[in-house]
Structure 1
Protein backbone atom coordinates (compact mmCIF):
# COMPACT_ATOMS: atom_id res chain seq x y z
CA UNK A 1 0.00 0.00 0.00
CA UNK A 2 2.18 2.77 -1.21
CA UNK A 3 -0.15 4.85 -3.32
CA UNK A 4 -1.99 7.74 -1.80
CA UNK A 5 -4.53 8.29 -4.54
CA UNK A 6 -8.20 7.49 -4.12
CA UNK A 7 -10.01 7.31 -0.83
CA UNK A 8 -8.26 7.02 2.51
CA UNK A 9 -7.99 3.51 3.97
CA UNK A 10 -10.70 2.87 6.52
CA UNK A 11 -10.32 1.44 10.03
CA UNK A 12 -10.83 -2.08 8.68
CA UNK A 13 -7.84 -1.73 6.35
CA UNK A 14 -5.64 -0.46 9.18
CA UNK A 15 -6.81 -3.30 11.43
CA UNK A 16 -6.14 -5.90 8.72
CA UNK A 17 -2.53 -4.70 8.39
CA UNK A 18 -2.10 -4.73 12.18
CA UNK A 19 -3.55 -8.26 12.49
CA UNK A 20 -1.30 -9.46 9.66
CA UNK A 21 1.64 -7.96 11.54
CA UNK A 22 0.70 -9.92 14.67
CA UNK A 23 0.29 -13.10 12.62
CA UNK A 24 3.86 -12.72 11.31
CA UNK A 25 5.44 -12.40 14.75
CA UNK A 26 7.40 -15.32 16.18
CA UNK A 27 5.15 -17.84 17.94
CA UNK A 28 6.72 -17.04 21.32
CA UNK A 29 5.34 -13.49 21.06
CA UNK A 30 1.97 -14.40 19.54
CA UNK A 31 1.34 -16.81 22.42
CA UNK A 32 1.18 -13.86 24.83
CA UNK A 33 -1.01 -11.59 22.71
CA UNK A 34 -4.23 -13.60 22.68
CA UNK A 35 -5.93 -11.51 25.36
CA UNK A 36 -4.73 -8.14 24.05
CA UNK A 37 -7.53 -6.21 22.37
CA UNK A 38 -6.68 -4.35 19.15
CA UNK A 39 -8.72 -1.19 18.61
CA UNK A 40 -8.57 1.19 15.65
CA UNK A 41 -10.03 4.61 16.42
CA UNK A 42 -10.07 7.83 14.42
CA UNK A 43 -7.87 9.59 17.00
CA UNK A 44 -7.10 9.66 20.68
CA UNK A 45 -9.66 11.26 22.95
CA UNK A 46 -8.98 14.45 24.88
CA UNK A 47 -8.48 12.62 28.19
CA UNK A 48 -5.77 10.39 26.68
CA UNK A 49 -4.03 13.30 25.01
CA UNK A 50 -4.04 15.32 28.24
CA UNK A 51 -2.75 12.38 30.31
CA UNK A 52 0.18 11.97 27.91
CA UNK A 53 0.84 15.68 27.46
CA UNK A 54 0.16 15.43 23.73
CA UNK A 55 -1.18 18.68 22.33
CA UNK A 56 -2.63 17.54 19.01
CA UNK A 57 -4.44 14.28 18.21
CA UNK A 58 -2.46 13.86 14.97
CA UNK A 59 0.72 13.55 17.05
CA UNK A 60 -0.28 10.17 18.54
CA UNK A 61 -0.42 7.19 16.17
CA UNK A 62 -0.79 4.43 18.74
CA UNK A 63 -0.95 3.64 22.42
CA UNK A 64 -0.70 0.59 24.66
CA UNK A 65 -3.04 0.54 27.66
CA UNK A 66 -2.16 -2.11 30.17
CA UNK A 67 0.54 -3.48 32.35
CA UNK A 68 3.66 -4.95 30.72
CA UNK A 69 3.76 -8.73 30.92
CA UNK A 70 6.75 -8.78 33.28
CA UNK A 71 4.87 -6.62 35.79
CA UNK A 72 1.63 -8.62 35.87
CA UNK A 73 0.56 -10.47 38.97
CA UNK A 74 -1.53 -13.62 39.17
CA UNK A 75 -3.28 -11.94 42.09
CA UNK A 76 -4.75 -9.19 39.91
CA UNK A 77 -8.27 -9.84 38.75
CA UNK A 78 -11.09 -7.78 37.36
CA UNK A 79 -8.76 -5.46 35.47
CA UNK A 80 -9.57 -4.20 32.00
CA UNK A 81 -7.90 -6.24 29.28
CA UNK A 82 -4.69 -4.90 27.81
CA UNK A 83 -5.42 -2.84 24.71
CA UNK A 84 -3.50 -1.60 21.72
CA UNK A 85 -5.04 1.51 20.20
CA UNK A 86 -4.13 2.54 16.67
CA UNK A 87 -5.22 6.03 15.70
CA UNK A 88 -6.23 6.01 12.05
CA UNK A 89 -6.17 9.74 11.29
CA UNK A 90 -2.73 10.23 12.86
CA UNK A 91 -1.39 7.20 10.97
CA UNK A 92 -2.82 8.51 7.69
CA UNK A 93 -1.41 11.97 8.36
CA UNK A 94 2.07 10.51 8.95
CA UNK A 95 1.68 8.29 5.88
CA UNK A 96 0.96 11.30 3.69
CA UNK A 97 3.68 13.47 5.27
CA UNK A 98 6.45 10.88 5.12
CA UNK A 99 5.58 8.86 2.02
CA UNK A 100 6.35 5.66 3.96
CA UNK A 101 4.31 2.69 2.74
CA UNK A 102 1.11 2.41 4.78
CA UNK A 103 1.66 -1.25 5.64
CA UNK A 104 5.20 -0.46 6.82
CA UNK A 105 3.94 2.41 8.96
CA UNK A 106 1.09 0.41 10.53
CA UNK A 107 3.50 -2.49 11.14
CA UNK A 108 5.93 -0.11 12.87
CA UNK A 109 3.25 1.42 15.11
CA UNK A 110 1.71 -1.97 15.92
CA UNK A 111 5.05 -3.51 16.87
CA UNK A 112 5.96 -0.49 18.97
CA UNK A 113 2.76 -0.92 20.98
CA UNK A 114 3.29 -4.69 21.22
CA UNK A 115 6.77 -3.89 22.50
CA UNK A 116 5.21 -1.84 25.29
CA UNK A 117 3.15 -4.92 26.24
CA UNK A 118 6.36 -6.94 26.58
CA UNK A 119 8.38 -4.12 28.16
CA UNK A 120 10.88 -4.17 25.27
CA UNK A 121 13.54 -1.57 24.57
CA UNK A 122 13.55 0.37 21.29
CA UNK A 123 16.37 -1.87 20.00
CA UNK A 124 14.33 -4.98 20.84
CA UNK A 125 11.31 -3.49 19.05
CA UNK A 126 13.39 -2.85 15.92
CA UNK A 127 14.62 -6.46 15.98
CA UNK A 128 11.05 -7.71 16.40
CA UNK A 129 9.93 -5.51 13.52
CA UNK A 130 12.61 -7.09 11.32
CA UNK A 131 11.37 -10.56 12.28
CA UNK A 132 7.79 -9.62 11.34
CA UNK A 133 8.75 -8.53 7.80
Structure 2
Protein backbone atom coordinates (compact mmCIF):
# COMPACT_ATOMS: atom_id res chain seq x y z
CA UNK A 1 0.00 0.00 0.00
CA UNK A 2 1.44 3.37 -0.97
CA UNK A 3 0.91 6.62 0.90
CA UNK A 4 -0.26 9.71 -0.95
CA UNK A 5 2.21 12.33 0.30
CA UNK A 6 0.99 15.03 -2.11
CA UNK A 7 -1.35 16.52 0.50
CA UNK A 8 0.75 15.85 3.63
CA UNK A 9 1.61 18.92 5.71
CA UNK A 10 3.24 19.57 9.08
CA UNK A 11 0.72 20.03 11.88
CA UNK A 12 -0.31 23.66 12.29
CA UNK A 13 -0.63 25.29 15.73
CA UNK A 14 -4.19 23.99 16.26
CA UNK A 15 -3.29 20.41 15.31
CA UNK A 16 -0.16 20.59 17.44
CA UNK A 17 -2.25 21.78 20.40
CA UNK A 18 -4.58 18.79 19.95
CA UNK A 19 -1.54 16.49 19.87
CA UNK A 20 -0.21 18.08 23.09
CA UNK A 21 -3.64 17.79 24.77
CA UNK A 22 -3.82 14.11 23.84
CA UNK A 23 -0.28 13.55 25.14
CA UNK A 24 -1.26 15.27 28.39
CA UNK A 25 -4.32 13.02 28.79
CA UNK A 26 -2.08 9.93 28.49
CA UNK A 27 0.12 10.99 31.41
CA UNK A 28 -0.24 9.16 34.75
CA UNK A 29 -3.37 10.50 36.51
CA UNK A 30 -1.59 11.70 39.67
CA UNK A 31 1.01 13.59 37.62
CA UNK A 32 -1.71 15.06 35.41
CA UNK A 33 -3.74 16.23 38.41
CA UNK A 34 -0.76 18.09 39.92
CA UNK A 35 -0.19 19.84 36.58
CA UNK A 36 -3.79 20.95 35.94
CA UNK A 37 -3.08 24.46 37.28
CA UNK A 38 -0.51 25.12 34.54
CA UNK A 39 -1.61 26.53 31.20
CA UNK A 40 -0.41 24.71 28.08
CA UNK A 41 0.66 27.14 25.37
CA UNK A 42 1.83 26.27 21.86
CA UNK A 43 3.93 28.80 19.96
CA UNK A 44 5.93 28.47 16.77
CA UNK A 45 9.13 29.69 18.47
CA UNK A 46 10.33 31.06 21.80
CA UNK A 47 10.44 34.85 21.93
CA UNK A 48 13.65 36.74 21.26
CA UNK A 49 13.65 37.74 24.94
CA UNK A 50 13.49 34.11 26.08
CA UNK A 51 16.28 33.12 23.69
CA UNK A 52 18.40 35.97 24.99
CA UNK A 53 17.70 35.21 28.68
CA UNK A 54 18.50 31.51 28.22
CA UNK A 55 21.48 32.29 25.98
CA UNK A 56 20.12 30.10 23.19
CA UNK A 57 22.23 30.23 20.07
CA UNK A 58 19.15 29.78 17.89
CA UNK A 59 15.38 29.87 18.26
CA UNK A 60 15.52 26.16 17.38
CA UNK A 61 17.50 25.35 20.57
CA UNK A 62 14.45 25.35 22.87
CA UNK A 63 11.73 22.73 22.49
CA UNK A 64 9.79 23.83 25.55
CA UNK A 65 9.90 25.98 28.66
CA UNK A 66 8.15 26.29 32.01
CA UNK A 67 7.47 29.85 33.17
CA UNK A 68 5.92 30.82 36.45
CA UNK A 69 6.30 29.72 40.02
CA UNK A 70 6.69 25.99 40.44
CA UNK A 71 4.63 24.18 43.05
CA UNK A 72 7.74 23.62 45.17
CA UNK A 73 8.13 27.42 45.55
CA UNK A 74 4.48 28.53 45.47
CA UNK A 75 4.21 29.24 49.21
CA UNK A 76 7.33 31.43 49.19
CA UNK A 77 6.02 33.76 46.46
CA UNK A 78 3.02 36.01 47.12
CA UNK A 79 0.07 35.30 44.83
CA UNK A 80 -0.64 39.00 44.27
CA UNK A 81 0.39 39.94 40.77
CA UNK A 82 1.70 36.47 39.98
CA UNK A 83 1.33 35.45 36.34
CA UNK A 84 -0.09 32.01 35.56
CA UNK A 85 2.20 29.00 35.35
CA UNK A 86 2.68 28.18 31.68
CA UNK A 87 4.13 25.14 29.94
CA UNK A 88 5.33 26.37 26.55
CA UNK A 89 5.84 23.95 23.67
CA UNK A 90 7.59 25.35 20.62
CA UNK A 91 6.16 23.77 17.48
CA UNK A 92 8.85 24.55 14.90
CA UNK A 93 11.86 23.45 17.02
CA UNK A 94 9.97 20.26 17.95
CA UNK A 95 9.18 19.56 14.28
CA UNK A 96 12.81 20.22 13.40
CA UNK A 97 13.99 17.81 16.11
CA UNK A 98 11.47 15.23 14.87
CA UNK A 99 12.81 15.49 11.32
CA UNK A 100 16.34 14.75 12.57
CA UNK A 101 15.56 11.81 14.88
CA UNK A 102 13.83 8.47 14.72
CA UNK A 103 11.30 9.13 17.47
CA UNK A 104 7.63 9.68 16.73
CA UNK A 105 6.24 13.18 16.96
CA UNK A 106 3.89 12.08 19.73
CA UNK A 107 6.78 10.67 21.79
CA UNK A 108 8.77 13.90 21.43
CA UNK A 109 5.80 16.07 22.43
CA UNK A 110 5.14 13.83 25.45
CA UNK A 111 8.82 13.97 26.45
CA UNK A 112 8.95 17.78 26.31
CA UNK A 113 5.60 18.06 28.06
CA UNK A 114 6.67 15.75 30.91
CA UNK A 115 10.01 17.53 31.25
CA UNK A 116 8.45 21.00 31.48
CA UNK A 117 5.67 19.89 33.83
CA UNK A 118 8.37 18.25 35.92
CA UNK A 119 9.97 21.69 36.32
CA UNK A 120 6.58 23.04 37.44
CA UNK A 121 6.41 20.31 40.08
CA UNK A 122 10.03 20.70 41.17
CA UNK A 123 10.91 17.11 40.23
CA UNK A 124 14.40 15.73 39.77
CA UNK A 125 15.59 14.39 36.41
CA UNK A 126 15.34 10.84 37.82
CA UNK A 127 11.70 11.46 38.81
CA UNK A 128 10.97 12.87 35.35
CA UNK A 129 12.59 9.83 33.72
CA UNK A 130 10.41 7.51 35.82
CA UNK A 131 7.23 9.38 34.83
CA UNK A 132 8.25 9.13 31.17
CA UNK A 133 8.68 5.37 31.55
CA UNK A 134 5.28 5.09 33.27
CA UNK A 135 3.64 7.14 30.49
CA UNK A 136 5.19 5.10 27.67
What TM-score results when the alignment is normalised by the length of structure 1? 0.89
* 3-state secondary structure, aligned to 1:90: helix
1:113 correspondence with 2:116: yes
Deviation at 1:17, TM superposition (A): 2.2
Max radius of gyration: which structure?
2
Separation in 2, partners of 1:21, 1:106: 7
Separation in 2, partners of 1:7, 1:27: 32
Deviation at 1:15, TM superposition (A): 1.6
* 3-state secondary structure, aligned to 2:56: coil
Q: Is the 8 A contact 1:91 1:106 kept in 2?
A: yes
Q: Is the 8 A contact 2:60 2:93 kept in 1?
A: yes
Partner of 1:89: 92
Separation in 2, partners of 1:60, 1:70: 23
Q: Is the 8 A contact 1:67 1:117 kept in 2?
A: yes
Separation in 1, partners of 2:33, 2:80: 20
Count of aligned positions: 130
Separation in 1, partners of 2:133, 2:45: 27
Separation in 1, partners of 2:19, 2:46: 19
**Per-residue CA shift, 1:67-87, capped at 9, x if unaligned?**
221111274222110001100
What TM-score results when the alignment is normalised by the length of structure 2? 0.87
Q: Which runs of 5+ in 2 are unaligned?
A: none
Separation in 2, partners of 1:78, 1:67: 12
Partner of 1:100: 103
* 3-state secondary structure, aligned to 2:35: coil
Separation in 2, partners of 1:28, 1:103: 21
Aligned 1:1-133 pairs, distance under 5 A: 6-73=8-75, 75-133=78-136
* 3-state secondary structure, aligned to 1:58: coil
Q: Which runs of 5+ in 1 are unaligned?
A: none
Q: What is the root-mean-square deviation in Å for CA atoms of aligned residues?
A: 1.7
